[in-house]
Structure 1
Amino acid sequence: MNQVADNPYVAPEADLEVQQAAGDISVFPRFSTWAVFGLSIITLGIYTIYWLYDRTRKLNSISENQISQGVVSASVGLFVASGISSIVVAVVGPSSSFGALVLVDGLLGLASGIMILVWAFKFRNRLNRVTNSEGKPTWAGPILTFFFNVLYLSYKINQHLDIRASR
């Protein structure tokens, strides 16, 4: 017998999540690049990581070639470790172990920056593939991704959404 016949008082089960087709860019909300810039400054870079994490989840839902959770976790972990080490260096101040703390802080900051760049380039590659924008003005290029990563990617997503809305 089925579940309803066994217990007529059981609530029906349903999958309420909207299934997105591969390449459906509408999973991304249109959010101003200026707002991303402002929030990144106000939150001292924390919003940048949140933006990239949130958009990666959305991109993975429409992409066949997903960004691995290992890259995301390593980037977030290094960002948090770098932030904590910066706070420790600021609180401890000059002392006998200050040089070692500054060195560790610098290395964590460098590793964090490199991982965030790797993450941004992986995001860029998947975005270009999903939107099939090679040779079009909406193509996200490597140079601007390197210098403006999250801001540039936000701009490119908005550009795709605007073109799609104008059709």
Structure 2
Amino acid sequence: MSEESTNVYEAPEAELTQANTSGNKPILNFERFSAWGVFFLSLITLGIYALYWLVSRANKANALAKHQVNQNLIYGYVAIYVINFVLAFTDISEVLSAVASIISLIVGLVFIFSLRTSLKELINEGSNEPVHLSGILTFFFYAIYFQYKINEAIDNQK
């Protein structure tokens, strides 16, 4: 055994992100996942998966897009979401619960529409045809609709 042999106890090194090898198509860096999967996982986990989905896609979009979602907005929404979720299961005054819900709604809408702008930029960057993300569908079906549009863009740009 030579002295220059590799350390067998050393952690392996791996490229954890795939490089975009298809030119100027940043949307291809996103994973294709069923919109139905997003729907059912969100339903089963009482909306927690939708929150995870939003945060993970916002972080990925921030790494790729020029228009970035503010990190304070992301973590603020997560904190308010958790507070609102906990308040739903406690005997706290209805006024405080309503205020937390309204704050959660407002911050959530700002976060979702900010992410919509980033995703629209990423989808249209490598696309031959401009794609429009509906504001109404974003409002009602945010994570499911975004995943559907990401899948559609991946299929069109491959």
Give the TM-score taking structure 2 as reference length: 0.80
Partner of 2:59: 57
Q: Distance in 1 between matches of 2:44 and 2:61?
A: 26
1:114 shift after superposition:
1.9
Native 8 Å contact 1:117 1:149 kept in 2: no
Task: Single out whichever of 148-157 and 130-139 deviates more from structure 2.
Answer: 130-139
* One of 134, 139, 148 as aligned partner of 2:132: 139
CA-atom RMSD, angstroms? Answer: 2.7
Give the TM-score taking structure 1 as reference length: 0.76
Native 8 Å contact 1:23 1:62 kept in 2: no
Q: Which runs of 5+ in 1 are unaligned?
A: 1-7, 90-97
* One of 135, 146, 149 as aligned partner of 1:156: 149
- Share of identical aligned residues, percent? 32
Residues 10-69 of structure 1: per-residue CA shift (max 9 Å, x gap): 98xx89455558751122111111111111111111011000001111111111221111
Q: Distance in 2 between matches of 1:30 and 1:123?
A: 18
SS in 2 for 1:123: helix
1:70–1:23 Cα change, 3 Å:
farther
* One of 71, 74, 88 as aligned partner of 1:72: 74
Greater RCO, 1 or 2 (C-alpha within 8 Å, sep 6+): 2
Q: Which runs of 5+ in 2 are unaligned?
A: 8-12
Q: Distance in 2 between matches of 1:38 and 1:118?
A: 25
Larger radius of gyration: 1
* One of 82, 85, 88 as aligned partner of 1:83: 85
Partner of 2:100: 108
Q: Of Structure 1 and Structure 2, which has the larger fraction of its residues in helix?
A: 1
Letter in 1 for 2:99: L
Native 8 Å contact 1:37 1:151 kept in 2: yes
Task: Single out whichever of 35-44 and 56-65 deviates more from structure 2.
Answer: 56-65
1:135–1:115 Cα change, 3 Å:
farther
Q: Distance in 2 between matches of 1:26 and 1:135?
A: 14
Find runs of 4+ consecutive structure 1 residues off by over 4 angstroms: 8-11, 17-23, 133-137
Aligned length: 149
